Amino acid sequence: MATLEEFHEDFLQSILTDADSRGLLQAQSFFEVVCEDLVSVGDMTSNYSPAEYIKKGMEVYGYDYDDDRKILTVLNHQFFQDESIQTFTRMQMEAKFNRLKTFLTRSVDGLYKDMEETSEAYSMAYNIYKYFQKRQLLRVRLMLLTDGKATRNLLELPSDILEGAALDFRVIDINYLHNIYESEAKSTISDIVVDLPCLKINDEENSYQSYLTVINGDHLVDIYEEHGQKLFEQNVRTFLQFKGNVNKGLKITIEHKPEMFFAYNNGITATASEIELGEDGHLKKIKNFQIVNGGQTTSAIYAAKRTSLIDVSKVSVQMKLSVVKDASKQDDFISKVAEYANTQNKINNSDFFSNSPFHKDMKEYSSRVYAPAIGGAQRRTKWFYERVRGEYLNSQAYLKTAEKNSFALENPKSQVVDKTLLSKTEIMWLRRPDVVSKGAQESFKKFAEDITELLEKDNLAITETYFKDAICRVILFRTTEKLVSAAAWYDGGYRAQTVAYSISYLSELVVTSGLQLNFDLIWEQQEIPFELIEMLKLITQQVYQKITHPATGYANISQWAKNSMCWEAVRNIDIDFPELDERLFIYREEKNYKIKESKDVKILEKAIDNQVFVLNVTNANWKMIFEHYRNYKGIRSLSNMQLGILEKMSIKQITLPSEKQAKILYQIYDTAREEGLNLN
């Protein structure tokens, strides 16, 4: 793992590159990147909105409202943008907090009445006013984001009270951001202190240890109130409110038969990376606590107490806790537990998207497909697909200086694409700007659904052609952001919505014409052609005018942009384009032929890869797998034909497997590994 200093250097370069490629101010890029990180770990919700407002004595850059926990977060930042890590001093901190608090109190008093209605700041001030007026807040957090380092005793600041709501002060500094990067499991962030009697189920020889315990309803509410969605970060299901029959039943039991909750409910399945036991044998601390089944149970109990004011002190919830100490096996273990345990409501395959072959295919193309050299450059480069945060930096962790320089030249920072950005640009092109406007998490969820459905219909859909086209859509997105930021008509605010709707409008234009955008041209140039830029200039201006003048009844522009009615209004804009360059478009039949060619190549590559993989597996492993399935230990049993091929491979009767044999052996190996066989 990278040191704090290495992480800071990489983080700063990421911000500078992101700002340059998107036409943003560096402070804007910093704010967006950190907010998305906080959403990813559950510190904020996907409802967060950037909204800059700086006046005398006031400074704020955005806000977030957690409707489930009734928590309002108001955001400010201190971006040092220095090559070395700066200290965030008490004086700087107090000044920032005071400006935030002044804005908050002024908003409670009706500041929105003196603001321009079409601005993002107006929506922010109005919503804050509304939350307080309607008594919709249990807690308010003033949060400072910084790339500096705050001394530890300044991170925990005393709480206050504002209009009956608890007022907390919180600093997110470079140490905290490093913790997020350091482990996808975020073990330092979701540790919980408990005092629970427990029963140990298995011995130390197992790859994991399991414990049974019981947790009280009030205690569960306190844990959720403190940690929120962080607890469900690895969960496959979000809370469905009290709409389904299962959740209605939960509420009825909590309210009328709380003492029967233990008997009626399946309880919670959770994981941890480590636990601490007291001398009395009780669980005292659970590190990296994650609820992988029972998210609805937890949220239902919380909602019952906080929203419906129901007493949950008599509710007892059984909990099965599995401790997985090997971090490399934790994601796979969690995925399997979730897949087999989640039966309460229907689970879609897209809920397990993190294990989708989509990522493997994208990573494989990312590692071997070179982009054309442009601008007189002699060296060709790659687009780096980052499935897991920090993967780009980790790839350089053990390289020598010369190797690092070579890696950076071949994989420039400006050509790193993470799964969140990719999902956003793909959903834009699929003409769902209303979903994109709801935030990165909603875009990713929709993207997962669409890709899963696509792969279920056609498991060869993710080809080299798809990879190149997807990268071109990222280039399109970044170029459009730059155009909007630099436009004379753009007066600030709603840039993200304008970009999303503009790209969707272009996609709609292409689809209704019966043609396809010539992504090959964009790929070869590694930039958007001049003629397409001129089209986008016309589109973005018209789109901005349309979305900033919402339909009657939609005073809040941010909320209007999240509505499908907004998309209906935008897609009906009539723009008179000048004569277009024919090179920008190709016939659909031509594109389909190229896709078919790409699939044929993938079939051949897959067959060769299977053969190479099978030949590289040791004979000892093939013997182990054969014994495993011959004795019917597997969850899945093999057919006589499969078992016969496996036996021949284990006794070296097959020296060079055919394509069909290699495919069968590869599938058997993969299944055995998933079932827990210790293969190496």
d(CA 293, CA 254): 19
| 576 and 610 part of one domain | no
- List, run by run, the mean pLDDT of 10-residue segments along the chain (680 residues): 86 91 90 87 83 94 89 95 93 93 95 88 93 90 94 68 88 90 55 90 74 94 82 51 58 88 89 90 90 83 84 93 74 63 51 73 92 79 87 83 90 92 95 92 87 84 92 97 94 92 96 89 94 95 94 82 95 87 79 76 77 86 85 67 87 85 85 72
| SS3 label, residue 265 | coil
In this structure, the answer to whether residues 174 and 225 fall within a common structural domain is: no
Spatial contact of 443 and 427, defined as CB atoms under 8 Å apart? yes
**Other CB atoms within 10 A of residue 226 CB:** 12
Q: Domain total for the chain? A: 4
Tell me how far the alpha carbon of residue 143 is from its chain's centroid: 21
Q: How many CB atoms lie within 10 A of CB 378?
A: 5
Any alpha helices (H) in 23-89, and if so which ranges? 26-40
Asked whether 273 and 325 are in contact (CB, 8 A), the reply is: yes
For 248, 401, 611, the CA distances from 256, given in Å and listed in that order, are 12, 66, 61
CA distances from 258 to 249, 262, 268, 366, 430 (A): 12, 8, 16, 53, 47
- Identify whether residues 581 and 619 lie together within a single domain: no
pLDDT at site 669: 85
Nearest C-alpha neighbor of 312 from the set 292, 297, 295: 297
Domain end position, chosen among 560, 588, 616: 588
Q: Which long-range contacts (CB under 8 A, 24 or more apart) does 613-617 make?
A: 613/662, 613/666, 613/669, 614/649, 614/657, 614/661, 614/662, 614/665, 614/666, 614/669, 615/656, 615/657, 617/665, 617/669, 617/679
- 294 and 340 both lie in a single domain: yes
pTM of the full structure: 0.72
Q: How far apart are CA 68 and CA 486, in angstroms?
A: 38
Cβ 507 vs Cβ 532: under 8 Å: no
Domain for residue 298, yes or no? yes
Domain containing 148 equals: 4-181
C-beta neighbour count of 345 within 10 angstroms: 12
Domain assignment present for residue 358? The answer is no
Alpha carbon distance 462, 357 (integer Å):
9
Q: Check residue 131 and give its pLDDT.
A: 93
Q: Is residue 364 part of a domain?
A: no
Position 655, amino acid: T
CATH number of the domain that residue 164 is part of: 3.40.1350
Residue 371 forms part of a structural domain: no
Together in a domain, 569 and 638? no
Q: What are phi and psi for residue 29, nearest 5 degrees?
A: -60, -45
Q: Are 283 and 242 contained in the same domain?
A: yes
Report the pLDDT value the prediction gives residue 217, as an integer from 0 to 100.
93
Contact 423, 415 (CB under 8 A): no
Do 619 and 653 lie in a common domain?
yes
Written as one letter, the residue type at 542 is Q
First to last CA, the chain: 23
> Phi and psi dihedrals of 586, rounded to 5?
-135, 160
For residue 280, the 8-state DSSP code is: T
| Residue 109 and residue 173 share a domain | yes
Considering the domain boundaries, does residue 68 fall inside one? yes
Please give the Cα distance from 393 to 227 (Å, whole number): 28
Claim to verify: residue 521 and residue 618 sit in the same structural domain = no
Residues 458 and 572 in one domain: yes
Strand partners, 78: 146
Q: Is 228 inside any structural domain?
A: yes
- E-strand spans in 232-389? 268-272, 274-277, 283-287, 290-293, 316-323, 370-371, 381-382, 384-386
Residue at 405 is within a domain: no
Q: Are residues 152 and 201 in the same domain?
A: no
Does residue 375 sit within a domain?
no
Q: At which of 157, 181, 205 does a domain end? A: 181
**How far, in Å, are 79, 80, 149, 637 from residue 12 at the CA level?**
10, 10, 14, 52
Examine the domain organization and report whether 60 and 177 are in the same domain. Answer: yes
Which of 543, 573, 588 is a domain's end point? 588
